[in-house]
Amino acid sequence: MPPQVSKSVVLTYTVRGAVTSLDYTIRLPRTMWKAGYKYTYALKITPTEIIADPSVSAWDGSAVVVNL
């Protein structure tokens, strides 16, 4: 995959007892994705917001130093 800018993610969810689903756009941190790395986003969901906390690691398990 060629290097590219990260994108937004739309999370669709349903609150208990609701009739319709809701959409929430998560703005991922703007960084250039690089080949050979995997990017993992931990989601923290609160009553007022959803936050994506990224981490970067190499596919082969070696140490990675990347500025997000």
Give the pLDDT score at 65. 64
Query: CA 30 to CA 8: how far, in whole Å?
Result: 9
Give the pLDDT score at 4. 64
Query: CA 26 to CA 10: how far, in whole Å?
Result: 6
Whether 19 is in a domain gets the answer: yes
Q: Is the dihedral of CA 21, 15, 12, 10 positive or negative?
A: positive
Domain count, the chain: 1
Give the pLDDT score at 1. 56
Nearest to 9 by CA among 21, 20, 25, 23: 25
E-strand ranges in the chain read 4-5, 8-13, 22-27, 32-33, 37-45, 50-58
* In the predicted structure, residue 68 carries a pLDDT above the cut 60: no
Give the pLDDT score at 44. 87
Domain span including residue 46: 4-58
pLDDT tens per residue across span 12-62: 888 888 889 988 888 777 667 777 788 888 888 887 888 888 788 888 777
Whether 63 is in a domain gets the answer: no
